[in-house]
Amino acid sequence: MSANDVVLAITGASGSAYALRLAQVLLAAGKHLHLVVSGAARQVMARELEAEFPGNGAAAAEWLAMIELTLAGPIGSAWGFRPLAASNAAFPQGSVRAYGTSDYSAGIASGSFLTSGMVICPCSMGTLSAIATGASTNLIQRAADVHLKERRPLVLVPRETPLSLIQLENMTRLSHAGATIMPSMPGFYHQPMQIADLVDFVVARILDHLHVEHTLMERWGAENESFTKGVRNQ
């Protein structure tokens, strides 16, 4: 356990590709990923990317293979995902530990387990609501609760539209409690040409909030040409 540890929870909102791309970059950055995948997230993944998450206890290599195969598979390649610039034979430098949603004895269920933060990507309205009320009815909600009470970074990436008053109030409440609400809302000012560019836009913003370096897209106002421009370099 160290500040290099990051919790990534994947829930059943649309946008499985965000989670895969995020996990790929975090592993390439050498992070120790603590993964929790909800049952609904598994359904959404099957629907959106025709892929299956590895089971709990699967090794980092199995996760990486699944991520790489899916992003390079028929849907992922049609969407324009390109390999990460840092990808090499030694990849991944990070590690993965996956937990079941009822595994309350996992380290991440306790405030004494140090992490540098937690991301829920994508975050369903159901999970968001449960965190907003402190329900803690599964490990994802409990770990989020822990990150709030320990005042560590908690980034929620919700996807829903339109939003009801209840959903808006839940987000406001969580923001007051210290969470970062980062809806999966890509901009278009970087002239995206492919779906992967839209995904990378959102993932880049999440990584910035976790203080993880990346070269997913050029920064607005940056003149450093070494940054990979998603569209132009294809």
Ligand X SMILES: Cc1cc2nc3c(=O)[nH]c(=O)nc-3n(C[C@H](O)[C@H](O)[C@H](O)COP(=O)(O)O)c2cc1C
The footprint of ligand X (CB under 6 A) covers 11-14, 38, 40-41, 43-44, 47, 124-127, 159-160
Q: Which CB, 42 or 82, lies closer to ligand X? A: 42
In the complex, what is the shortest distance from the CB of residue 171 to ligand X, in angstroms, rounded to a whole number?
Answer: 12
In the complex, what is the shortest distance from the CB of residue 50 to ligand X, in angstroms, rounded to a whole number?
Answer: 12
Q: Which CB, 28 or 140, lies closer to ligand X? A: 140
| Phi/psi of residue 20, nearest 5 degrees | -65, -45
In the complex, what is the shortest distance from the CB of residue 194 to ligand X, in angstroms, rounded to a whole number?
Answer: 21
Q: Cβ distance 96 to 60 under 8 Å? A: yes
Paired strand residues for 111: none
What is the Cα–Cα distance from 207 to 63, expressed in whole angstroms? 19
Q: Which CB, 26 or 37, lies closer to ligand X? A: 37
Q: Which CB, 14 or 194, lies closer to ligand X? A: 14
Q: Cβ distance 126 to 165 under 8 Å? A: no
Q: At 2, is the secondary structure helix, strand, or coil?
A: coil
In the complex, what is the shortest distance from the CB of residue 180 to ligand X, in angstroms, rounded to a whole number?
Answer: 18
Paired strand residues for 123: 158
How far is CA 174 from its chain centroid? Answer: 18
Q: Which CB, 95 or 180, lies closer to ligand X? A: 180
Q: Which CB, 60 or 98, lies closer to ligand X? A: 98
In the complex, what is the shortest distance from the CB of residue 84 to ligand X, in angstroms, rounded to a whole number?
Answer: 26
| Phi/psi of residue 157, nearest 5 degrees | -115, 80
Q: Which helix (H) or strand (E) holds 137?
A: none
**Burial of residue 95, with CB atoms counted within 10 A of its CB: 0-12 exposed, 13-18 middle, 19 or more buried:** middle
In the complex, what is the shortest distance from the CB of residue 216 to ligand X, in angstroms, rounded to a whole number?
Answer: 22
